[in-house]
A and B are shown apart, each in its own frame.
Chain A
Amino acid sequence: MKTPFISSALGIILLAFGGIILLPAAVAVIDHDYRSTTPFLIASCTSFAFGLICRWHGRFCRNFDTMRRTEGLLIVTLTWIVAAAIGAIPYVFFGLNPLDAYFEAVSGFTTTGATILIDFSLYPKSFFFWRSLSQWLGGMGIIVLFVAILPQFGVAGRKIFFAEAPGPTEEKITPRIAHTAKALWLIYLLLTLLEIVCLTAAGMPLFDAVCNSFSTMAAGGFSPHPQSIMGYQSSAITWIVTIFMFLSGANFALQYKLFLRGKSRPLFTNDEFQFYLGIVVVSSLFLSIILYSLQGGTAANSIRDGLFQIVSIITTTGFSSVDFALWTVAAQTTLFAMMYVGACAGSAGGGIKVVRILFAFKFLKREIDQIVHPRAILPIKIDRVTVQDDVQRQMLSFLLFYICLMIGSGLVVTMIEQDALIGFVGTAATIGNIGPGFGEIGPMGTFGNLHPLTKAIFILDMIVGRLELIPFLAMLCPEFWTFSRNDQR
């Protein structure tokens, strides 16, 4: 692995990032809150300074064409870790301790939406804007953004693009990766703008509409309102957010084809989308019935909250329209099951991903069929195409690693916190980038009172979950860590 490549690439990203972090400062200026600009200016300067140091260390290397896969994985991982660190700087200035600040920043960038904040009234608007903006950036992927806007990456863009979103299939809408990244960001941006317009029309203040839209499209879950979407007390807003959350959990490449090219077939004939739609419809119906019969309340509200909460959890957004930590165990278990599914591949959401769950079901069905017909050739087909053996193996091992990590992290946190609910639900909520769990860490609760070690484990869970395990797994291999400063190979 060549250090100049890594530091130089990281340098470029830091320089660009230094520019982006000035946006909340602009919001502070518009808000006439000039004192709040300082934390963002300092963060920006730090980012520029580190960026230049990295560039210098990397000898201002501009050609990344010979980048290897391992280098790509490391660059992606470091980008997320460092970006979150820079993003945490303003929080420190607003009075959070460094670990909490980092937790909040990671929770933002990984679109988890787990918060350590307790009292929302202490912070200025620019603070909440930055929380939501960080989610919006993380939603489509920081790397995807830089591949789209920075021409330097060229060929290497392809490697880091797929390292960031290592879904089971490599999907490109256009032949060139930079164009694909631009197209994805375009549809992402357009949907966000549309949601801002809808929410404003439904009576939400503009600032809240912008922040909530950023969090919705990113499947994030940070809201400037301490009571999340429930705080706005409006059915119209709840329905609008439900729709956009649903879209944020669907494959953006297919939505690009639908909305910008007018081709509806690719989305609606997509097996994963159909399965996603099926899960949402069936489980929200189930949940609505539970809510109506056990929880009391009107039918309309039961359906609204059932659907909202299912979509919110399955897309890994983590918004709440009611405090589901107070629901019956049956309703909570339904939501917990959704935590394991996650959104579609190629969406803003996290989790295991619908396509892997779909594959797992088909895999099990195949094993059963094979018992009856031992000589039959039974391929596993997704989207009418047979899943290749190496992809099959990769998906199965992903599931296995996911379960291992989930159990491991869950056990350790349970020991630290003396509470199995926090241990396992918290782990599921952070690895899946969902956000709120049940009980103390529920939607109206906070992660702020947890043990520092738990927070550190959750930070790791969030990053590993966002990068879909693969970069993390690669780093467990000792050979990954062989560095050289040599330019020749």
Chain B
Amino acid sequence: MDIIIYGTTEFSYLVAARLHQQHNITILHDGGELSERFNNLDVSIVEGSGSDISVLDNIEARKADLFIACSVLDEANIVACWTVKKIADTETICFISKASLYKNFSSITHNHYQTRYDIDSIIWPEQLLTQDIFRIISVPEALDVEYLAGGKAKLFEYRIKAESTIVDKPIKDCNFPANVLIPGITREGKLFVPSGSTTIRLNDKVFFIGSGAALDVLAADFFKHDRKVKSVSIVGGGAVGFMLAEKLERTGIKVKIIEHNIQRCAFLADSLKKALVLQGNGTDLELLESESIAAADVCVCTTDNDEKNLLCSLLIKQMGTKRIITRVGNIQNYGLFEHVGIDVVVSPKASALTEVLNRVQTHSVDVVALLEGGKGEVLRLTLPKTFKEMRIKELDMPFNAIIGVIVRGYKVIIPNGESLLLPQDRLQIFAMKEDSEAIKNFFFA
């Protein structure tokens, strides 16, 4: 696949780093310092602007399959996508960082005069992040939540606590409800695919895949799940904080939001209906205590400063919050955050990366979800027509992966070893990132 990436931002690097070994990537660099990291990638870097039609002609944009515009400037991204459409009907992905622009392009109601210059997909990382955080908050106790097969199956991540009845038991002795699988466990920062004899330890983070009903039973039996989330504290009233507060408010959850910029506070107070907007610093211990921020069911730290987020999260965690969700800007800090004990680490870049990978993967394989900061992923693939019918246990996979969900027609099956695989079944597979290429080869070779 020929991919052109316009812009040399950190995100361009992440996409290029992820894809450069399987795809032909050209990066357009329009002035400024070029980060040293790009030189470690097997890509071609061309000087020029994405909105310059001659530059695009030079790099043969007409032959490209995908054009990703993720330079710093929103307007430049939009113009670049339009310019590409003038040359050829290439799929375009445009990155946006302003709410107003995002609304312009994603509005369904204002779509009367659609032209062929329209951008195919608009990605606003912070909006995707908001959706992710919202989904995680909506299930109490779970650390991470992903919806699979259109929500018919779900993936939850739980931390095993000391009072849990399944500590130090092998998985096969745990009596989990039927239709629930454990595709992965993170222990001391390492993700692995367990087998039936793997023992669950204290402080493990365990993934469960299952149908919605079965997971509810699981949650009721093994994790305290009776409390509904009623209140959320948000530190940082940027785009993510604001949108999250708006979404939560609509579902009737009480929201407190701390923001230090007084003008932004005024904006938040104007735009939000019921949320309590507090002016102050997220690391101001007195404020956190007097407004009992940690007493909320979930606390979310979403300022745009990693250090501040971390400090603030640790403060709140130490004050005894039940769940803390922290935003990380720099992907390299992801592991660090997990290491010091933040429950859920989220990143706008990871959210956006999932979205981009969804469009890039070939062979009708795409990534539904990235887990643990990209260490694991849930892949979606459709078995080819030539696939020979067989049982899962007969499938001799040379790697560690778990088929979590089989979608056959309108039916969603949570499989076990005896389940049959038929041609044209759609599978959702939980796998390590490094195995994803092997999985493709295995099923499509």
Q: Which residues of A contact B (CB under 8 A)?
A: 373, 375-379, 381, 384-386
Q: With CB as the reference atom, state the residue of chain B lying closest to A386.
A: B270
Enumerate chain A residues within 8 angstroms of B270, measured Cβ to Cβ: 379, 381, 385-386
B168 lies within 8 A of chain A by Cβ: no
Enumerate chain B residues within 8 angstroms of A376, measured Cβ to Cβ: 276-279
Number of inter-chain CB pairs below 8 Å:
32
B352 lies within 8 A of chain A by Cβ: no
Other-chain residue from A373, A379, A386 in contact with B278 (beta carbon distance below 8 A): A373
Q: Which residues of B contact A (CB under 8 A)?
A: 262, 265-266, 268-270, 273, 276-280, 287, 290-291
Separation in Å of the B43 CB from the closest CB of chain A? 47
Q: Is A377's CB under 8 angstroms from B291's CB?
A: no
Enumerate chain B residues within 8 angstroms of A378, measured Cβ to Cβ: 269, 277
Separation in Å of the B32 CB from the closest CB of chain A? 38
Enumerate chain A residues within 8 angstroms of B273, measured Cβ to Cβ: 384
| Most chain B C-beta atoms within 10 Å of own C-beta, residue among A373, A376, A378, A386 | A376
Q: Is A373's CB under 8 angstroms from B269's CB?
A: no
Q: Is B291's CB under 8 angstroms from A373's CB?
A: yes
Shortest Cβ-Cβ A-B pairs, 10 listed: A377-B265, A377-B269, A377-B277, A379-B269, A386-B270, A375-B278, A375-B280, A376-B278, A377-B279, A375-B279
Q: Is A375's CB under 8 angstroms from B291's CB?
A: yes
Enumerate chain B residues within 8 angstroms of A375, measured Cβ to Cβ: 278-280, 287, 290-291
Q: Is B280's CB under 8 angstroms from A377's CB?
A: no
C-alpha spacing A375/B291, complex, angstroms: 9
Separation in Å of the B281 CB from the closest CB of chain A? 10
Q: With CB as the reference atom, state the residue of chain B lying closest to A381.
A: B270
C-alpha spacing A397/B287, complex, angstroms: 34
C-alpha spacing A384/B269, complex, angstroms: 11
C-alpha spacing A375/B269, complex, angstroms: 13
Enumerate chain B residues within 8 angstroms of A381, measured Cβ to Cβ: 270
Q: Is A377's CB under 8 angstroms from B268's CB?
A: yes
Q: Is A379's CB under 8 angstroms from B266's CB?
A: yes
C-alpha spacing A376/B287, complex, angstroms: 10
Enumerate chain A residues within 8 angstroms of B265, measured Cβ to Cβ: 377
Separation in Å of the A201 CB from the closest CB of chain B? 45
C-alpha spacing A384/B290, complex, angstroms: 29
Separation in Å of the A269 CB from the closest CB of chain B? 13
29 contacts between A and B (CB under 8 A): A373-B276, A373-B278, A373-B291, A375-B278, A375-B279, A375-B280, A375-B287, A375-B290, A375-B291, A376-B276, A376-B277, A376-B279, A377-B262, A377-B265, A377-B266, A377-B269, A377-B277, A377-B278, A377-B279, A378-B269, A378-B277, A379-B266, A379-B269, A379-B270, A381-B270, A385-B270, A386-B266, A386-B269, A386-B270
C-alpha spacing A378/B272, complex, angstroms: 11
Enumerate chain B residues within 8 angstroms of A379, measured Cβ to Cβ: 266, 269-270
Separation in Å of the B259 CB from the closest CB of chain A? 8
Enumerate chain B residues within 8 angstroms of A377, measured Cβ to Cβ: 262, 265-266, 268-269, 277-279
Q: With CB as the reference atom, state the residue of chain A lying closest to B258.
A: A375
Separation in Å of the B268 CB from the closest CB of chain A? 7
Separation in Å of the A374 CB from the closest CB of chain B? 8
Enumerate chain B residues within 8 angstroms of A373, measured Cβ to Cβ: 276, 278, 291
C-alpha spacing A379/B263, complex, angstroms: 12
**New contact pairs (4) apart from A377-B262, A386-B270, CB-CB < 8 Å:** A375-B290, A376-B277, A377-B268, A379-B266
Enumerate chain A residues within 8 angstroms of B278, measured Cβ to Cβ: 373, 375-377
Separation in Å of the B185 CB from the closest CB of chain A? 42
C-alpha spacing A378/B273, complex, angstroms: 11
C-alpha spacing A373/B290, complex, angstroms: 8
C-alpha spacing A375/B257, complex, angstroms: 11
C-alpha spacing A420/B49, complex, angstroms: 83
Q: With CB as the reference atom, state the residue of chain A lying closest to B264.
A: A377
Separation in Å of the B263 CB from the closest CB of chain A? 10
Enumerate chain A residues within 8 angstroms of B262, measured Cβ to Cβ: 377
Separation in Å of the B265 CB from the closest CB of chain A? 4
Separation in Å of the A322 CB from the closest CB of chain B? 43
C-alpha spacing A49/B277, complex, angstroms: 63
C-alpha spacing A375/B276, complex, angstroms: 10
Enumerate chain B residues within 8 angstroms of A385, measured Cβ to Cβ: 270
Enumerate chain A residues within 8 angstroms of B266, measured Cβ to Cβ: 377, 379, 386
Separation in Å of the A213 CB from the closest CB of chain B? 41
Enumerate chain A residues within 8 angstroms of B279, measured Cβ to Cβ: 375-377
Enumerate chain A residues within 8 angstroms of B287, measured Cβ to Cβ: 375
C-alpha spacing A71/B282, complex, angstroms: 53
Enumerate chain B residues within 8 angstroms of A384, measured Cβ to Cβ: 273
Separation in Å of the B283 CB from the closest CB of chain A? 14
C-alpha spacing A375/B268, complex, angstroms: 14
Separation in Å of the B275 CB from the closest CB of chain A? 10
Separation in Å of the A14 CB from the closest CB of chain B? 47
Enumerate chain B residues within 8 angstroms of A386, measured Cβ to Cβ: 266, 269-270
| Most chain B C-beta atoms within 10 Å of own C-beta, residue among A375, A381, A384, A386 | A375
Separation in Å of the B241 CB from the closest CB of chain A? 14
Q: With CB as the reference atom, state the residue of chain A lying closest to B276.
A: A376
C-alpha spacing A373/B287, complex, angstroms: 10
Separation in Å of the A373 CB from the closest CB of chain B? 6
C-alpha spacing A385/B270, complex, angstroms: 7
C-alpha spacing A376/B255, complex, angstroms: 12
C-alpha spacing A373/B268, complex, angstroms: 16
C-alpha spacing A378/B278, complex, angstroms: 9
C-alpha spacing A312/B279, complex, angstroms: 46
C-alpha spacing A385/B290, complex, angstroms: 29
C-alpha spacing A384/B273, complex, angstroms: 8
Separation in Å of the A381 CB from the closest CB of chain B? 8
C-alpha spacing A375/B279, complex, angstroms: 6
C-alpha spacing A376/B275, complex, angstroms: 10
C-alpha spacing A378/B269, complex, angstroms: 6
Separation in Å of the A88 CB from the closest CB of chain B? 50
Q: With CB as the reference atom, state the residue of chain A lying closest to B277.
A: A377
